[in-house]
Structure 1
Amino acid sequence: MTTTDSPELKRSLWALDGVNFFLADVQAGLGPFLGVYLINKETWNPANIGLILTLGGAVGLLLNAPAGALIDATRHKRALLAGAAALTSFGTFIVTLKPTFAIVTAAQLLTGIAGVVLGPVIAAIALGMVGPKRYASQTGRMQAFNHAGNVMGSAVAGLAGYLISLKMGFWLASLFGIFVVLATMLIKSNLIDDDVARGLQPKDDGGDDKPSGFRMLLRNRPLLLLAAVVGLWQLANAAMLPITGQKLAVGNTGDGALYQAALIIVAQVVMIPMALLVSKRGDQWGRKPLMVAAFLVLPIRGVLFVLASNPGEVIAVQALDGIGAGLQGALFAIMVADLTRGSGRFNVAFGAATMVQGIGGTFSPALAGAIDQAFGYTTAMLSLTAIAIVALGLLVFTVPETRTPAQEPPETVDAESSPSPVG
């Protein structure tokens, strides 16, 4: 593995930043904008939209761990990344052809399959390029570029939806998929250490070249607890933005697109400094205090959404999502890497933990959509808020700090002085 920032490594890391930036543009049309696109079309209502948004995530629930095992084993990570990005781009495009249930379902299935690969393979490439000591810093940097891309993508989709047609926003988002593929090709494959990318210790630090058995995942109690509480957090969080955007969009798709863009952009702008905070201070302050802050703002946001009485107030409240999702998004992969260091099973563990997280995110729109349809927006939002409070309590009392002591290198921390990841 390259251990210094040679010009070649710098160029490849910038290309990886480009992947994160443009991939966010591709994905900007999915989810919330899809709900805005469908809400005023015949046969589509909050319950149906919640169901269709659930399908995209459901397809990946059984594929996350196998995809992680594939990423651990393959030496063609760039090809996987480019292929998944192209599939996402295609799925974003076909949803605009004719928004029937069959076509929208097919699009959600395609993007769901691609989404299973995208997060873990980007994380693996980054780990393989910079190693475990710099992984937290690199992850924060990549998340900052991802949020910046979301700002641009949401602005493009929102303005296109208001000035031209929401379809144009989807088409432009699909076009950005080509840029993702081009940026991926600029990453030098020889700079990716495939052993380090799967979570093995670097050989120059005395690491073992054989991965642990799969049973280590089931015996790693902190990893299981982390996945469970983040899954609950996603169950509470994932539907808050879509149902709020749909509430603002009812009766006016054009203004709804602008409102949805504003809701996304205000959060993503705040997420950029949050991701950089993780990059700069995650090793010094620890992971858990920052994760607790991420969980704390979610129930506050839910209550304030209920109290907000006009679009301006709703958009201001959405800034809190920038704190919560900005911190949680950067910290999750870092904490999984902490808890699997040296095992050689990082991507399997990340895939399995992402599966649990995805269960929450997948069922959140369906749950909130059904409650919204039956009892109204306020009841749906308060239900999500209650789930967020439960997740916060479990995080505080059950999940340990995963950072190794700052005064010692992660690879040489004595087993008696560092918390064991295996319970």
Structure 2
Amino acid sequence: MDHEIGEGQGQPPASSQRSVSKSLDLLNLLLIDVNGAIKPYLNVYLYVHRGWDDASVGLVSTVAGIVGIVAQTPIGTTIDAVRDKRVILLGALVALSLATLLIALFPNFWSVLVASCVLAAVGGMLSPAVAALTLGLFPAGKLARRFGRNAALERTGNVAIAALIGLVGWLFPDRAVFLLVPACAIVSAAALYAIPRRAIDARRARGGGEGEAEDAPAGWRSLLTNRPLVVFAACVGLFHFANAPLLTLVAQESGRVRPDWSSVIVSVCIIGAQAVMVPMGLIVGRRAERWGRKPLLVIGFAALPVRALLYLAWRDPYWLIAVQCLDGIGAGLLSAMKPLVMADITRGTGRYNAAHGLIGTVQGAGASLSFVIAGTLVQTAGFDAAYLACAAAAAVALAVLVALMPETASERPRSGPAAWLRAMLPGKA
């Protein structure tokens, strides 16, 4: 894969390009999804092995969730301000390692609360920080393929690490799982610093554009009045409002039938969805330039209301689990497309990571609110009402995307679904 070296260094040798690409590959494989893998295990650990009650676990989860939402925008602004993006990622790896070691060594309330807040705040910045690093390593014409590759490798790593967590939790003492984070962090740091600083264009890594003079980043007003960014944030917030509670609902409903298999059901759903996300990342890498961004987003957003309605077709636990694995289509396409669309929207502003933080805040707020509403609906009207509400929210997200979101690709899509979508597309961002 070709890329441009930053700081005016010229084109690197082919061997250097391959080395940088392999290091980035390894980094994506080894970055643990702490919010999707470690935190669910932490809740089980606190319940089963430490004897915590529901109120204590719920309080830790709630406080950590609020901290994670509030921290996203300041963290994004910090990533933009630091020229060497490797320093940001290294700091995140150290913080995550210390947090998990704190849990393993001192599993009391205050230690776990502090560590959980760190996991929530820092865990949410890993993917945006890797996206910023990628933005600084590759020119605009190479980003679609590289972001798609990043997503596929990240999901492959998540599947392998989730299986490893289950194996370690079964073979070794209950706290051994938390030692996986510092172990992976050491190898991740080695891969990170195998990428030379001179290969990273600091201006481009914060959304400064290609070959432009060094300018001060755009003001916050320019972000808040950026119509494509506002529309995209609304779409992402609505998507996660509809999607976030579905796994919990499936686990609760299936767990009523097979309570002894509740943890296995959750693991199968997570690993199944992550496995489906791998080819979604590859599709984005191969088709985002030819088809454009919007058609792939429409496919991903359309999959969500269909999935929510499929839960109503049959109440068998195996059916519910199979449908939940389809989460990999919607969430997989969105997670692979988001950094690419953000790069399109924010190019030239110098606020790529700050914009990522704003969308992360909206996404987290939507997901948190949906858990409360879905839980209330289950208690008052049953699971069908909760699934219908999620389907309705997902349909609204799809409608907003189709009607208001512009195509953000710099060139008109050359083939594929864009042909039938072109009539409904507003002007380019």
TM-score by length of 1: 0.85
Of residues 395, 398, 413, the one that matches 2:404 is 398
Change (3 A) 1:165 1:285: farther
For residues 241 and 338 of structure 1, the distance between their equivalents in structure 2, rounded to whole angstroms, comes to: 31
CA distance in 2, matches of 1:161, 1:226: 39
Secondary structure, in 3 states, of the residue corresponding to 2:32? helix
Q: For residues 89-124 of structure 1, what are the alpha-carbon distances to aligned partners after superposition, in whole Å with 9 as ceiling and x for unaligned?
A: 343454456766544432320112213432222111
Residues 1:344 and 2:356 are matched in the alignment: no
Cα gap change, 1:305/1:56 in structure 2, threshold over 3 Å: closer, same or farther? farther
Q: CA deviation at 1:246?
A: 4.9
Match of 2:419 in 1: none
Counterparts of 1:388 and 1:42 in 2: how far apart (Å)?
38
> Is 1:124 aligned to residue 129 of structure 2?
no
Change (3 A) 1:252 1:318: closer
2:163 & 2:260 partners in 1: Cα distance?
13
Unaligned residue ranges in structure 1 (runs of 5+): 409-417
1:152-163 matches, within 5 Å, as 152-161=160-169
Distance (Å, rounded) in 1 between the aligned partners of 2:329 and 2:208: 32
Mapped partners of 2:391, 2:101: distance in 1: 34
- Residues of 2 paired with 1:20 and 1:98: CA distance? 30
Q: Does 1:144 align with 2:152?
A: yes
Cα distance, 1:35 vs structure 2: 4.8
- 1:366 & 1:90 partners in 2: Cα distance? 31
Query: Quick one: distance in 2 between partners of 1:323 and 1:171?
Result: 31
Give the letter aligned to residue 7 of structure 1: S
Q: Could you tell me which residue of structure 2 aligns to residue 413 of structure 1?
A: none
- Tell me the number of residue pairs that the alignment of Structure 1 and Structure 2 aligns: 408
8 Å contact from structure 2 (residues 300, 334) kept in 1: yes
The 1:289/1:36 distance shift into structure 2, 3 A limit, reads farther
- Cα 1:378–1:293 change in 2 (3 A) is same
TM-score with structure 2 setting the length: 0.84
Cα distance per residue 1:148-201 (max 9 Å; x no partner): 011111212234445667654444355323322222222211111101111122
Residue in structure 1 matched with residue 321 of structure 2 by the alignment: 315
Counterpart position of 1:198: 206
Identify which of 76, 87, 91 aligns with 2:84: 76
Partner of 2:187: 179
Q: In 1, Cα distance between the equivalents of 2:93 and 2:369? A: 24
**1:14 alignment counterpart:** 22
Q: Bigger shift: 393-402 or 5-14?
A: 5-14
Once residues 248 and 283 of structure 1 are traced to their aligned partners in structure 2, the CA distance between those partners, rounded to angstroms, is: 41
1:385 aligns with 2:378: no
Q: Which piece of structure 1 moves more, 308-317 or 143-152? A: 308-317
Shift of 1:284: 0.7
Q: Which runs of no fewer than 5 residues in structure 2 stay unpaired?
A: 6-10, 415-425
Instruction: Tell me the amino acid that sits aligned with residue 21 of structure 2.
Output: L
**Quick one: which of 253, 262, 273 aligns to 1:256?**
262
**Mapping for residues 45-84 of structure 1, pairs under 5 Å:** 45=54, 52-84=60-92
Instruction: State the Cα distance separating 1:327 from its structure 2 match.
Output: 0.2
Deviates more, 1:63-72 or 1:372-381: 372-381
**Does the aligned pair in 1 maintain the 2:290–2:413 contact within 8 Å?**
no
1:8 Cα deviation from its structure 2 partner = 2.1
Report the identity percentage: 37
Q: CA deviation at 1:306?
A: 4.4
Q: Which AA in structure 2 matches 1:275? A: G
Relative to structure 1, is the Cα distance of residues 407 and 253 closer, same or farther in structure 2, using a 3 angstrom cutoff?
closer
Q: How does 1:141-290 map to 2 (within 5 A)?
A: 141-161=149-169, 167-203=175-211, 207-210=212-215, 211-248=217-254, 255-290=261-296
Give the root-mean-square deviation of aligned CA atoms.
3.1
Report if aligned partners of 1:231, 1:360 keep a CA contact under 8 Å in 2. Answer: yes
Question: Any idea what the Cα deviations from partners look like across 1:245-271, whole Å, max 9, x if unmatched?
Answer: 355457988743332221111111111
Structure with bigger RCO (C-alpha 8 Å, 6+ apart): 1
